[in-house]
Amino acid sequence: MLRKIRNGEEHLIVNDPVRPHIPFEERVGPGRDIFVLDDDNDNVRAVICVAYCTDIPTNEEELKEFTSPRGTSAIFYTVWSYDKGAGRQIVNEVFDLLKKETALLRFVTLSPLTEMARKFHLSNGAVFVDKYDDCQNFEYS
């Protein structure tokens, strides 16, 4: 089951392998959401953080600068899972939910420069956009 993070679950971000330094308050501030994927017993299977941006960021500074409640692009800037296949599932479910329930125009990642991130997004149907000094972007359509 897909849902937004609940009060009292702030501790979940300590398991973020990509951007653990981003404080919880910043992840849920204006123009930001955290989604959680639970199993049938309410155990957390995966977590994804999303920023709604006015432009496509190429680094964390731009992610912060471009974030806006009126952003037209969803930026998936970190995802982690506890079960095999849960990372793929949460990306796809959040993409489907946002595509259906919002007027967002683009769905892009701000991914680390790792082969694992590259393989993950390409195998999930994303298209490589560009590579920068610290990050790379993939787009879901």
Instruction: State the pLDDT at residue 2.
Output: 98
Q: Tell me the per-residue pLDDT of 78-131, one tens digit each, with 9 for 90 and over.
A: 999 999 999 999 999 999 999 999 999 999 999 999 999 999 999 999 999 999
DSSP state of 5: P
Which class would CATH give 2-140?
Answer: alpha beta
Domain boundaries, the chain: 2-140
If DSSP codes are grouped into helix, strand and coil, which group holds residue 78?
A: strand
Confidence of residue 5 (pLDDT cuts 50, 70, 90): very high
Average pLDDT of the residues in 47-71: 98
For residue 2, the one-letter residue type is L
Burial class (CB in 10 A: 0-12, 13-18, 19+), 110: buried
Q: Is 125 left (phi over 0), alpha (psi -120 to 50) or beta?
A: left
Confidence label for 62 from pLDDT (cuts 50, 70 and 90): very high
Residues in the chain: 141
Q: How do residues 11-53 score in pLDDT, each as one tens digit?
A: 999 999 999 999 999 999 999 999 999 999 999 999 999 999 9
DSSP E strand stretches across 1-141: 2-4, 32-38, 44-53, 73-81, 106-109, 111-112, 127-131, 135-140
In the numeric block, the tokens 């409640």 are attached to 69
